[in-house]
């Protein structure tokens, strides 16, 4: 872990490339540092001047008479390496490179950026950037603004790191309307050295940072990301937007799993398994951040809604249902209490409609009754300015109720006049209720609270160690290696699956028609024939799969036809046998499972299978090794779970078998990291509810 204490808590800062020219980056950096009332010394560096914006100016950092904790560099790209060498000569160990013109411009810029990183690493210098907006720390004992955003950032309890400097500036501009504030901000830029994980680890140790928000375009080290994020998310929320969600086919992939596994699926699996809350849109990111900033986690997930208008109450109910948030079932006793204080026309079911004419006092009484009940864990209060303007009175009541019920989150929607936000600030300076204009934003924030509560309720688990025949699998892989085979044959893949206890139909490997008849008599008709070749990737391409063979006569006929097809395709020499497998009866429900190694991490996949797997893409991914909880979450993450129950007369399958199948695949690639892809497609559910893997493909690196 990097020590970035002086980087973010400096006592002295040098701004290299400072300028008196209005609106220049060098000028804005000096002005922001001065306006923030930095609790330390500021030194401007420019050989042409002796003073800029009231700050003493020196020709070089070597001329500054005091030690310097952080150097902020805003000089042309070709000069930056020499500037850093000067910094090293006076033992400056923290550098922020604002300058652009590096790897974002092409090969020459990339080479210069690498040279900077190499020099910094060799000399113990921490580098943020290049091509970034800068950094800031709003702590009262620091007040360090080292970025060139046009205004000062609102102070709060959030740590915000972003790869986009322009986005950082835009967010700082919007903070007053977002109703949140920043404790620290780091613009990462090109991340030539310090990356998002370094910042995450730094903020893990900082008690002033209550939640971590990030905008990232890539995950620098997936293995380390899982390790760090899983640990940090147990201490404080991590909310991330990762851009680049559009689908891109995996290159040179021969498996369905590989073709479905893009960069974004890797990110989704990592986030889900490590407790990271992924937001797709900035609006949702900061709405969620507002709720986390102002609400403790609830004890349960039961939601009560109070509204003075039916429409928004119904929309809130529908949105809560979309997020699987249950509405509290109010007891008769609670309903009687509500009837006693509300107008006769009010509805005391949940949502509670206090009707348009409800007074501020009636709002207060109704919300107080609901918060006092055991059946309510979370309260959503919706107010529309219809009859009388009661928004400030209701806000005051909610603030008082929050102090009385700190463990029951209160979220509000005020569809009132534009002056409401400024009126609240004036009338209730300590107002601490997350407030929105639209129901969907409020419910989204509540859903994230519940999501985090559920995550923390699940205790961390180790990956299980299941009983397998590792030695047998090792022998098969070694044999394939010796033959120069990277894509294992169907026979080899099935044998490894069998060694690892995956649920397979009865099968055998035949070299002759007599072998095939003997196997068929042992496993009973109907059977399936599948060629097992060292070169054929997809058996269906040459008609290499024959199903529903019901007798010895049919077996002989199709055996000969299969051999003829191989002869015509000049593939007989590549054959290592023909698989004879028991036909799965009544199997009209298909799932898929598999594994792909991407960016050094094995990602396991599960979802709807069959011929439309790549068209529907109803699948989910998680990184290996898989825990029991990961397997359960995967089963619940897609519509695949809907076909695992009783469907059109088909028996329900035991979800434990599906969970164990995923765990066994995970253990297989954990034991043999040289495996790069696995397809178990399809997984079929037969008419008795048995889940069976009927085809296998394994690829090694």
Distance, CA of 180 to CA of 278 (rounded, Å):
19
Residue 547's CATH number: 3.30.1490.20
Cα–Cα distance list, 693 to 530, 582, 685, 690 (Å) = 14, 12, 9, 10
- For residues 136 and 28, membership in a common domain is answered with yes
Can you tell me the mean pLDDT for 280-285? 93
- For residues 665 and 594, membership in a common domain is answered with yes
Can you tell me the mean pLDDT for 680-686? 87
Distance, CA of 88 to CA of 62 (rounded, Å):
10
3-state secondary structure (DSSP) of residue 42: strand
For residue 287, is it within any domain? Answer: no
Cα–Cα distance list, 324 to 302, 317, 318, 357, 442 (Å) = 10, 10, 10, 31, 15
The conformational region for residue 617 under phi > 0 = left, psi -120 to 50 = alpha, else beta, is left
Mean pLDDT computed over every residue of the chain: 91
Domain end: 583, 615, 640, which one? 583
For residue 251, is it within any domain? Answer: no
pLDDT over 90 at 321, yes or no: yes
* The pair of three-digit structure tokens given for residue 276, joined into one six-digit string: 């990271």
Residue whose structure tokens are 């004992």: 141
Can you tell me the mean pLDDT for 244-258? 48
CA-closest candidate to residue 411, choices 440, 387, 375 = 440
Can you tell me the mean pLDDT for 39-53? 96
Domain end: 190, 217, 244, which one? 217
- For residues 468 and 578, membership in a common domain is answered with no
52 exposed, middle or buried (CB, 10 Å; 0-12, 13-18, 19+)?
A: buried
pLDDT over 70 at 315, yes or no: yes
pLDDT at 384: 95
**Residue 186 · residue 146 · CB < 8 Å:** no
For residue 594, is it within any domain? Answer: yes
Domain end: 525, 549, 583, which one? 583
Can you tell me the mean pLDDT for 580-600? 86
230 vs 264, which has greater pLDDT?
Answer: 230
pLDDT at 647: 58
Q: Side by side, which strands form the sheet with 211-216?
A: 144-147, 134-137, 182-187, 155-162, 211-216, 238-242, 277-278
pLDDT over 90 at 388, yes or no: no
pLDDT at 609: 78
Distance, CA of 350 to CA of 82 (rounded, Å):
68
Q: Tell me, rounded to whole angstroms, the distance of Cα 438 from its chain centroid.
A: 25
pLDDT tens by residue, 183-241: 999 999 999 999 999 999 999 999 999 999 999 988 878 889 999 999 999 999 999 99
pLDDT band at residue 244 using 50, 70 and 90 as cut-offs: confident
Distance, CA of 532 to CA of 542 (rounded, Å):
12
Residue 369's CATH number: 3.40.50.261
- For residues 382 and 530, membership in a common domain is answered with no
pLDDT at 267: 84
pLDDT band at residue 611 using 50, 70 and 90 as cut-offs: low
pLDDT over 60 at 256, yes or no: no
pLDDT at 685: 87
Residue 649's CATH number: 3.30.470.20
pLDDT over 70 at 582, yes or no: yes
- For residues 46 and 165, membership in a common domain is answered with yes
- For residues 70 and 200, membership in a common domain is answered with yes
**Residue 235 · residue 297 · CB < 8 Å:** no
- DSSP calls for 103-152: GGG-HHHHHHHHHHHHHHHHTT-EEE-SS--EEEE--TTT-EEEE--SSP
Distance, CA of 306 to CA of 303 (rounded, Å):
10
- For residues 387 and 488, membership in a common domain is answered with no
Domain count for the chain: 4
Distance, CA of 503 to CA of 18 (rounded, Å):
68
**Residue 265 · residue 615 · CB < 8 Å:** no
Residue whose structure tokens are 């007369």: 649
Distance, CA of 348 to CA of 340 (rounded, Å):
10
Contacts of 482 (CB under 8 A, 6+ apart): none
* 593 DSSP β-pair partners: 606, 680
pLDDT over 60 at 259, yes or no: no
Domain region containing 404: 292-457
pLDDT at 34: 95
Q: Percentage helix, strand, coil, to 5, in the chain?
A: 40, 20, 40
Residue 206's CATH number: 3.40.50.720
pLDDT tens by residue, 83-114: 999 999 999 999 999 999 999 899 999 999 99
- For residues 85 and 114, membership in a common domain is answered with yes
Please report which residue ranges of 526-677 form alpha helices under DSSP H.
Answer: 552-568, 613-616, 628-636, 655-671
For residue 532, is it within any domain? Answer: yes
CA-closest candidate to residue 13, choices 21, 36, 110, 642 = 36
**Residue 161 · residue 168 · CB < 8 Å:** no
The dihedral formed by the CA atoms of 307, 311, 313 and 317, expressed in degrees to the nearest 10: 180
Contacts of 374 (CB under 8 A, 6+ apart): none
pLDDT at 577: 85
pLDDT at 257: 44
Give pTM, 2 decimals.
Answer: 0.88
pLDDT at 526: 94
CA-closest candidate to residue 320, choices 391, 456, 413 = 413
CA angle (184, 413, 185) in 5-degree steps: 10
Distance, CA of 58 to CA of 18 (rounded, Å):
10
Distance, CA of 598 to CA of 218 (rounded, Å):
13
pLDDT tens by residue, 520-559: 999 999 999 998 877 665 555 567 889 999 999 999 999 9
Distance, CA of 614 to CA of 618 (rounded, Å):
8
pLDDT over 90 at 251, yes or no: no
**Residue 534: its H or E element:** none
For residue 259, is it within any domain? Answer: no
- For residues 342 and 365, membership in a common domain is answered with yes
For residue 238, is it within any domain? Answer: no
Q: What proportion of the chain, given as a percentage, has pLDDT over 90? A: 74
- For residues 611 and 547, membership in a common domain is answered with no
- For residues 407 and 488, membership in a common domain is answered with no
* 415 DSSP β-pair partners: 384
- For residues 208 and 303, membership in a common domain is answered with no
For residue 206, is it within any domain? Answer: yes
Distance, CA of 554 to CA of 548 (rounded, Å):
9
pLDDT at 640: 80
pLDDT over 90 at 639, yes or no: no
For residue 227, is it within any domain? Answer: no
């Amino acid at each position: 872990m990097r020590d970035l204490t002086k980087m973010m808590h400096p006592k002295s800062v040098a701004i290299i490339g400072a300028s008196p020219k209005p609106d220049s980056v060098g000028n804005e950096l000096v002005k922001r540092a001065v306006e923030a009332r930095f609790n330390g010394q500021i030194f401007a560096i420019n050989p042409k001047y002796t003073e800029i914006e009231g700050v003493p100016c020196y020709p070089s950092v070597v001329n500054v008479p005091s030690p310097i904790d952080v150097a902020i560099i805003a000089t042309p790209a070709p000069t930056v390496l020499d500037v850093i060498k000067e910094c090293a000569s006076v033992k400056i160990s923290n550098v922020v490179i604002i300058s652009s013109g590096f790897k974002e411009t092409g090969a020459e810029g990339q080479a210069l950026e690498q040279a900077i990183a190499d020099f910094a690493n060799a000399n113990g210098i921490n580098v943020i950037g290049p091509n970034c907006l800068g950094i800031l720390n709003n702590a009262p004992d620091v007040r360090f603004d080292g970025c060139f955003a046009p205004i000062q950032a609102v102070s709060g309890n959030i740590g915000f790191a972003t790869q986009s400097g322009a986005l950082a500036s835009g967010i700082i501009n919007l903070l007053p309307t977002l109703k949140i504030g920043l404790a620290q901000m780091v613009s990462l830029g090109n991340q030539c050295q310090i990356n998002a994980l370094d910042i995450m680890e730094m903020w893990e140790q900082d008690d002033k940072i209550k939640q971590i928000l990030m905008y990232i375009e890539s995950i620098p080290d997936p293995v380390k990301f899982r390790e760090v994020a899983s640990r940090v998310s147990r201490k404080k929320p991590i909310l991330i937007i990762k851009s680049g969600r559009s689908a891109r086919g995996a290159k040179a992939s021969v498996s369905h799993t590989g073709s479905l596994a893009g960069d974004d699926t890797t990110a989704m699996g990592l986030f889900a398994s490590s407790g990271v809350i992924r937001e797709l849109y900035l609006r949702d990111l900061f709405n969620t951040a507002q709720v986390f900033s102002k609400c403790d986690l609830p004890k349960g997930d039961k939601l009560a809604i109070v509204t003075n208008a039916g429409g928004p109450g119904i929309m809130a109910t529908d949105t809560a249902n979309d997020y699987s948030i249950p509405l509290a079932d109010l007891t008769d006793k609670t309903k009687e209490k509500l009837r006693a204080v509300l107008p006769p026309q009010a509805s005391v079911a949940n949502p509670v409609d206090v009707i348009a004419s409800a007074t501020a006092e009636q709002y207060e009484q109704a919300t107080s009754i609901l918060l006092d009940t055991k059946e309510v864990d979370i309260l959503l209060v919706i107010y529309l300015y219809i009859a009388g303007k009661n928004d400030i009175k209701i806000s005051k009541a909610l603030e008082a109720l929050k102090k009385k019920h700190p463990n029951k989150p209160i979220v509000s929607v005020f569809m009132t006049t534009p002056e409401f936000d400024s009126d609240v600030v004036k009338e209730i300076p300590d107002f601490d209720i997350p407030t929105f204009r639209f129901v969907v934003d409020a419910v989204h924030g509540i859903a994230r609270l519940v999501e985090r509560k559920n995550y923390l309720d699940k205790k961390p688990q180790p990956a299980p160690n299941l009983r397998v025949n590792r030695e047998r699998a090792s022998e098969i892989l070694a044999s394939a290696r010796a033959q120069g085979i990277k894509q294992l044959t169907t026979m080899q893949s099935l044998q490894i699956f069998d060694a690892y206890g995956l649920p397979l139909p009865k099968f055998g490997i035949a070299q002759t028609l007599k072998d095939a008849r003997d196997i068929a008599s042992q496993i009973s008709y109907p059977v399936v024939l599948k060629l097992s070749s060292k070169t054929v990737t997809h058996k269906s391409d040459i008609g290499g799969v024959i199903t529903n063979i019901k007798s010895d006569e049919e077996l002989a006929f199709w055996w000969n036809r299969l051999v003829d097809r191989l002869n015509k395709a000049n593939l007989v020499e590549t054959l290592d046998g023909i698989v004879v497998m028991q036909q799965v009866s009544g199997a009209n429900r298909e799932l898929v499972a598999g594994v792909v190694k991407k960016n050094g991490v094995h990602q396991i996949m599960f979802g709807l299978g069959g011929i439309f797997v790549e068209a529907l893409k109803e699948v989910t991914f998680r990184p290996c090794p898989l825990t029991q909880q990961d397997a359960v979450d995967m089963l619940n993450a897609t519509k695949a779970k809907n076909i695992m129950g009783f469907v059109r007369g088909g028996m329900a399958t035991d979800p434990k078998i599906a969970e164990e199948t995923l765990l066994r695949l995970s253990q297989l690639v954990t034991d043999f990291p040289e495996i790069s892809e696995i397809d178990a497609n399809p997984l079929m559910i037969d008419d008795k509810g048995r889940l069976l893997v009927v085809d296998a493909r394994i690829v090694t690196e």
